[in-house]
Amino acid sequence: MRVALLAGGTGGAKLADGFARVLAPGELSVIVNVADDTELHGLRVSPDIDSVLYTLAGLLDRTTGWGVAGDTRTALGMLERLGAERTWFQIGDADLATHVRRTQLIRDGASLTDATAAMAAALGITARILPASDDRLRTMLQTDAGELDFQDYFVGHRQEPEVRGVRLDGLDAARPTPAALAALAEADLVVIGPSNPVVSIGPILALSGMREAVAASGAMAVSPIVAGRALKGPADRMLASLGEEVTAVGVARRYAGIVRAFVLDAADAALASEVAALGLEPRVLPTVMRSDADRDALATALIQGGGILNR
């Protein structure tokens, strides 16, 4: 069964890991947000892509939810001594190698898609990790501290300023990749992962033609909000400061007209009727992925449910 997963951040990477284990090699395509990307120390940094790379390669630091397990920061310390800026972005030495290799490949003429594929193959990953776009796209957040690049907000300001609006710099020119669109068209099941709907999934769906492609696929979405809270990251605070309902229903409202089914955690089973009122088919499943077994179980349940949905 061919599955296409839209992902960004920790939740999406965890679900990708579950799908990768329960599907045959080559059956999973992960379409990843690139609007969190940044340039740092002259290097191209793609945090969401790297979260998926490291997770599927078994390299992720599960304590922090980002970076390489056991990494050191000798290079970062030297950069700081030499007066480099933005050293608050904690790049480890192994992580730095990833950014060096990506930048080298792109400077040699590779697209971001091709560079990602080359690195995934080198790490022994059989899933296809597909950047949503090869073009420059950056999330800019209007906050109480002024307009901030996503990484300045997320890491530099520790997610403290209230978010009042979102602007996608480069959206007019950015296009989804042919590979991402093909993965959606060819998939037996398309899933929007439990990622931040504002800054992880929102930029993917904003790309020209992407919303229509997902809608045509009969997709389902998994809520990243459980019992009124985000399991990780600022999604709940962002929804609140943007004036949206901080519940699974609030997320479902964002996806109405795009997906056919919406998955709520068992803790939110009472909200199923409100989801149905939005024209979405509610599914209630255990969605909190605390262990590998949880990841596998959710992926399996989505595949089984997806087969029913698409018949």
Concatenate the DSSP letters of all residues of 189-247 into one string: EEEE-SS-IIIIIHHHHHSTTHHHHHHHTT-EEE-SEETTEESSSSHHHHHHHTT---S
pLDDT at residue 292, rounded to an integer: 97
Question: Are 253 and 242 within 8 A, CB to CB?
Answer: no
pLDDT at residue 305, rounded to an integer: 84
Distance (Å, whole) CA 290 – CA 286: 11
37, with CB counted inside 10 A (0-12, 13-18, 19+), is buried
pLDDT at residue 307, rounded to an integer: 47
> pLDDT band at residue 248, thresholds of 50, 70 and 90?
very high
pLDDT at residue 306, rounded to an integer: 63
CA atoms within 13 A on the CB side of 249: 12
Contacts 24+ apart (CB under 8 A), 59-65: 59/94, 59/123, 60/13, 65/10, 65/232
pLDDT at residue 93 tops 50? yes
Q: Set out the domains of the chain in order of their start, with CATH numbers.
A: 1-36+126-311 (3.40.50.10680)
User: What confidence tens digit (pLDDT) does each residue in 30-74 have?
Assistant: 999 999 999 999 999 999 999 999 999 999 999 888 899 999 999
pLDDT at residue 81 tops 80? yes
Over range 132-138, report the average pLDDT.
Answer: 98
What pTM value is reported for the model? 0.95
pLDDT at residue 257 tops 90? yes
Q: What are 11's two structure tokens?
A: 């939740």
User: What confidence tens digit (pLDDT) does each residue in 227-236 have?
Assistant: 999 988 899 9
